């Protein structure tokens, strides 16, 4: 689906751009910390077309793919201990386009 490609391409661009990451931080206030609205607003400005609903579905699918099976080993636990990304509140830290 084109929206999935646009979502992935958008987050690739954001991962690679400190300027876009800063823009997202600035948008947080104007979007009332509604992360989906914030991402869609910035994506539209950059020429990517997808809706909040399409983004929600894509994030939920990615979160499902990233869920580990079984308990984490010591190395995996160390990598997630105290980890967090301010952009990944929606996915509860299970998937992050920025720290993928």
d(CA 75, CA 8): 28
> Which whole number is the average pLDDT over 70-81?
73
Contact 66, 37 (CB under 8 A): no
Kindly report, residue by residue over 6-32, the tens digit of the pLDDT: 989 998 898 888 888 888 777 776 766
Integer Cα distance of 94 and 55 in angstroms: 15
User: 73: pLDDT confidence band, cut at 50, 70 and 90?
Assistant: confident
Quick one: pLDDT at residue 22? 82
Q: Confidence class of residue 47 from pLDDT cuts 50, 70 and 90?
A: very high
Sequence-ordered list of residues with C-beta below 8 angstroms from that of 96, at least 6 positions apart, any chain: 85, 87, 88
């Amino acid at each position: 689906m084109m929206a999935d490609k646009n979502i992935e391409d958008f987050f690739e661009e954001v991962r690679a751009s400190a300027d876009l990451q800063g823009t997202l931080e600035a948008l947080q206030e104007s979007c009332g910390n509604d992360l989906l609205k914030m991402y869609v607003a910035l994506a539209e400005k950059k020429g990517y077309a997808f809706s909040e609903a399409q983004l929600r579905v894509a994030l939920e699918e990615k979160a499902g793919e990233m869920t580990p099976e079984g308990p984490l080993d010591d190395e995996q636990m160390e990598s997630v201990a105290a980890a967090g990304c301010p952009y990944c509140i929606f996915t509860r830290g299970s998937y992050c386009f920025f720290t993928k």
